[in-house]
Structure 1
Amino acid sequence: MTIKEAILKSLDDLNKLANSIEICTHILENSYYEFAGKTPAATISAQLGDFIRNEDTRVKRIKQPNGTYYYYLTKNEQNIGIDILSGDTEVSTTKPTKVNKLETYEERDLHKLLSSYLKNTDTYSKTIFHEQSNGKDSNQIWTHPDMVGIKFLNLQTKASQNLLKSINRVDTFKLSSYELKREINSDSELKKAFFQAVSNSSWANYGYLVAFEFRDSLNEEMARLNQSFGIGIIKLNANPYQSKVLYPSVFRELDFKTIDKLCKINKAFERFIEQTEKLMTANEKYVAGAEKELEEFCDGYFKNDTEVDNYCREKHIPTNEE
C-alpha cells in the first residue's frame, strides 16, 4: 500500500471518527505501511491535511471543541451518524494543466475518472456509446448523453424505505446525465458543449457538463449559463476524488417520453433502465444480488490511488504533479 491507501484502509476499518494518532496506531498494528522516519504520527497528520487541502472527496473532518481534528470516510458518513452540509461554493481558479500534445489522452479515457468520482458519491454510472445506437441520422447527434448515472436514496430503516416506496417509487432514486469533454478553452466551445448537455440531459433529474480543463476566463459565463439553464458543471481531476462540482445542477422531473426514446435507440441505455428497475422492485432477499448485477453492468472504477496513477501514466493524462 501507499501511505494514502493505508490511511483510507484504516478509516474504513475503524468506521468512526478518528484522529491522526488513532489512525497511525491502526496502520502500525496491522502493518499496512512501513514508515521510514521516526515520527509516523506526524507523517499521518500531514497526509490527512493533504486530503483536506487537495479537496479529496473521499475524506472529511470535523473539529472538536479542544481543537483536535477527527477524520472519517465520506462513504461511511451515514453509518457514523454525521450529516454535514458544506457551504463552500467557491469556484476553482486553478489554471488548466498543460498537456503534452505529442502524447495526449482521448475524451473516452476520462470516463473511468468520472465513474470513480461518481462511485465515491454512491452513484452508479454507465457510458452510452452513441455509435452503437439504431438510426444514424444527424438529428440524433445531441440526443445521447456520454454517461448516465443513478443514485438511490439511502434510508436506514426498512419502515422508512417501505413507506417511501408506497407513496412514490420515483422518489427513491435520482437519474443524472453527463456530457464529457477533454477541454473547453473558448466562449464558443463552452456554449456548444453546454447546450449539447442541455439537449442530452432533458430527460434526467440532473444534467452536468464535465470537462478536464476549463479556461479561467470562462468562469463568469459558466455561472450565467448555469443560472439560466440549470445544467451543473464539474471540473474533473486526474485524481478523481479531487474533482469538484463548480456549479450544481437544478432538479427536474423525469421526462419518460425521452427515456422511452433512448431505450428504443440504444440497447445499453435500455439495459441500464432495466437493471435500475430490477433493483428497485427486487424482493428483500434478492436486493444484494440485483445491486451486484447493476454494479457489474456499470462502468468500472479505480480501487486505489496506485491504479489511478498507473492509468493516468498509461493514457498520458496530466496529473497534478506534472
Structure 2
Amino acid sequence: MTIKEAIIKSLEDLDRLANSIEICDHILANNYYEFAGKTPPATVSAQLGDFIRNGDTRVKRIKQSNGAYSYYLTKNEQNIGIEILSGDTETQIVKPIKINKSKTYEERDLHKLLSSYLKNTDTYSKTIFHEQSNGKDNNQIWTHPDMVGIKFLNLQTKASQNFLKSINRVDTFKLSSYELKREINSDSELKKAFFQAVSNSSWANYGYLVAFEFSDSLNEEMARLNQSFGIGIIELNANPYQSKVLFPAVYRDLDFKTIDKLCKMNKEFEKFIEQTEKLMTASEKYVSGAEKELDEFCDSYFANDTEVENYCREKHIPTNEE
C-alpha cells in the first residue's frame, strides 16, 4: 500500500473517529505501510492534512474540545453518532490547479472516474450506451443520459425502514441522471451541454452536467442556468475523490412515463430499473444478495489510489501533478 491507501484502509477498519496517533498505530499494527523515517506519526498527520487541503472527499475531520482533530471516512458517516458530527465538522476545498490537458483521452474514459466519485457517496451508477438503443436516430443522445445513478436512504433501524416502505416506497431512494463532457470552454458549448442535460434528465429526481474542465469565465452563466433550470454541475477531477459539486441539483418528482419510454428504448436502462426494484423489494434474508447483484451490474470503480494513477496514465488523462 501507499501511505494514502494505508490511511484509508485504517479508517475503514476503525469505522469511528480517530486521531492521527490512533491511525498510525493501526497502520503499524497491521503492517499496512513501511515507514522510511523515524517519525511515523508526523508522516500520517501530514498526509491527513493533505487529504483535507486537497479536498479529497473520502476523508473528513472534526475539531475536538481540546483543539485536536479527529478523522473519519465519509462513507462511514452513518455509523458515527449524529451528536458527535454536529460539532465543528470541516472539509477544506481547494480549487484544483488548471493545467494544459492533453486531448488524447476519450469522453468515456472519464466514466470510471465519475463512478468512483459517486460510489464514495453511496451512489450506484451505470453507463447507458445510446448507440445500443432501439432505432438509429442520432437525436437519441438527447433522450437518455450518459450515466444513471441511484442512492438509497440509509436508515439505521429495521423498524424505520419498514415504516417508510409501508408509507411510500418512492421515498426510500433517489434517481439521478448524468450528462458527461470532456471540457466546456465557451458559452455556446455550455448551453448545448446544459440543455442536453435538461432534456436527458427529465425523468430523474436529480439531473447533473459533469465535465472534466470548465472555463473559469463560465461561472456566472453556470450559476444563472442552474438557478433557472435546477440542473446541478459537477467538476470531475483526475483524482475522482477531489471532484466537487459546483452547483447542486434541485429535486424533482420522478416521471414514470419517461422512465417507461427509456426502458422500452434501452435494455441496459431497463435492467438498471429491474435491479433497483429487486433490491427495494427484497426481503431481509435476500437484501445482501440483491445489493451485490446490483453492484456487479453497475459500473466498476477504483479500489485504491494506485489504480487511479495507473488508469489515468494508461488513458492519458492529465492529473494535477503533471
Q: Could you tell me which residue of structure 2 aligns to residue 14 of structure 1?
A: 14
What SS does structure 1 have at the residue aligned with 2:275?
A: helix
Q: Could you tell me which residue of structure 1 aligns to residue 279 of structure 2?
A: 279
| Distance in 1 (alpha carbons) for counterparts of 2:138 and 2:146 | 16
What SS does structure 2 have at the residue aligned with 1:25?
A: helix
Give CA-to-partner distance per residue, 1:229-279, whole Å, 9 cap, x none.
000000000000000000000000000000000000000000000000000
Q: Could you tell me which residue of structure 2 aligns to residue 156 of structure 1?
A: 156
Answer whether contact 2:152 2:172 (CA < 8 A) is retained: yes
Give CA-to-partner distance per residue, 1:8-30, whole Å, 9 cap, x none.
11111111111001111111111
Answer whether contact 2:62 2:89 (CA < 8 A) is retained: no
Answer whether contact 1:96 1:214 (CA < 8 A) is retained: no
Residues 285/173 of structure 1: CA separation in 2 closer, same or farther (3 Å cut)? same
Letter in 1 for 2:98: P
Q: Could you tell me which residue of structure 2 aligns to residue 128 of structure 1?
A: 128
Q: Could you tell me which residue of structure 1 aligns to residue 188 of structure 2?
A: 188
Letter in 2 for 1:9: K
Percentage of pairs with the same residue: 85
Give CA-to-partner distance per residue, 1:122-171, whole Å, 9 cap, x none.
00000000000001224423001000000000000000000000000000
| Most deviating of 30-39 and 197-206 | 30-39
Q: Could you tell me which residue of structure 2 aligns to residue 96 of structure 1?
A: 98
Q: TM-score, normalised by structure 1?
A: 0.96
What is the correspondence of 1:154-233 to structure 2 with a 5 Å cutoff?
154-233=154-233
Give CA-to-partner distance per residue, 1:87-135, whole Å, 9 cap, x none.
999997545321234xx21000000000000000000000000000001
Answer whether contact 1:5 1:305 (CA < 8 A) is retained: yes
**What is the number of equivalent residue pairs in this alignment?**
320
What SS does structure 2 have at the residue aligned with 1:252?
A: coil
Residues 22/90 of structure 1: CA separation in 2 closer, same or farther (3 Å cut)? closer
| Distance in 1 (alpha carbons) for counterparts of 2:156 and 2:285 | 17
Q: Could you tell me which residue of structure 1 aligns to residue 297 of structure 2?
A: 297
Q: Could you tell me which residue of structure 2 aligns to residue 76 of structure 1?
A: 76
| Distance in 2 (alpha carbons) for counterparts of 1:10 and 1:66 | 23
RMSD over aligned Cα atoms = 1.8
Q: Could you tell me which residue of structure 2 aligns to residue 113 of structure 1?
A: 113
Answer whether contact 1:96 1:215 (CA < 8 A) is retained: no
Residues 51/196 of structure 1: CA separation in 2 closer, same or farther (3 Å cut)? same
| Distance in 1 (alpha carbons) for counterparts of 2:77 and 2:175 | 22
Letter in 1 for 2:237: N
What SS does structure 1 have at the residue aligned with 2:317?
A: coil
Q: Could you tell me which residue of structure 1 aligns to residue 31 of structure 2?
A: 31
Answer whether contact 1:206 1:249 (CA < 8 A) is retained: yes
